[in-house]
Amino acid sequence: MSEIDAASASLIVPQIPSYEMKSSNPLKLGIMASGNGSNFEAIAQAIAAGQLNAQIQVLIYNNPGAKAAMRAANRGVEAVLLNHRDYKSREKFDHQIVEKLRQYDVEWVILAGWMRLLTKVLMDAFTDKVINVHPSLLPSFKGIHAVEQALAAGVKITGCTAHLACLEVDSGPILVQAAVPVLPDDTAETLHARIQIQEHRILPQAIALAAQRR
Ligand code: GAR
Indicate the top mutation candidate among 38, 142, 166, 171 to test ligand 1's pocket, ranked by most ligand atoms within 8 A of CB. 38
192 lies in a domain?
A: no
In the reported structure, the alpha carbon of residue 9 is separated from the centroid of ligand 1 by a whole-number distance in angstroms of: 22
pLDDT recorded at residue 40: 98
123 lies in a domain?
A: yes
Pairing of strands 130-134, 108-111: parallel
128 lies in a domain?
A: yes
Residue 61: which CATH number?
3.40.50.170
CB 21 within 8 A of CB 212: yes
4 lies in a domain?
A: no
Please check the confidence at residue 16 and state whether its pLDDT lies above 70.
Answer: no
- pLDDT, mean of residues 124-147: 98
pLDDT recorded at residue 20: 55
Identity at 153, one-letter amino acid code: A
40 lies in a domain?
A: yes
**Closest by alpha carbon to 59, among 30, 34, 38?**
30
Domain count for the chain: 1
48 lies in a domain?
A: yes
55 lies in a domain?
A: yes
- pLDDT, mean of residues 85-110: 98
Residues with Cβ within 8 Å of residue 176, at least 6 apart in sequence? 16, 161, 162, 202, 205, 206, 209
Residue 90's domain comprises: 24-141+159-179+199-213
In the reported structure, the alpha carbon of residue 112 is separated from the centroid of ligand 1 by a whole-number distance in angstroms of: 6
Q: Given pLDDT bands bounded at 50, 70 and 90, which one contains residue 104?
A: very high
Pairing of strands 130-134, 174-181: unpaired
Q: What is the pLDDT of residues 64-74, one digit of tens each?
A: 999 999 999 99
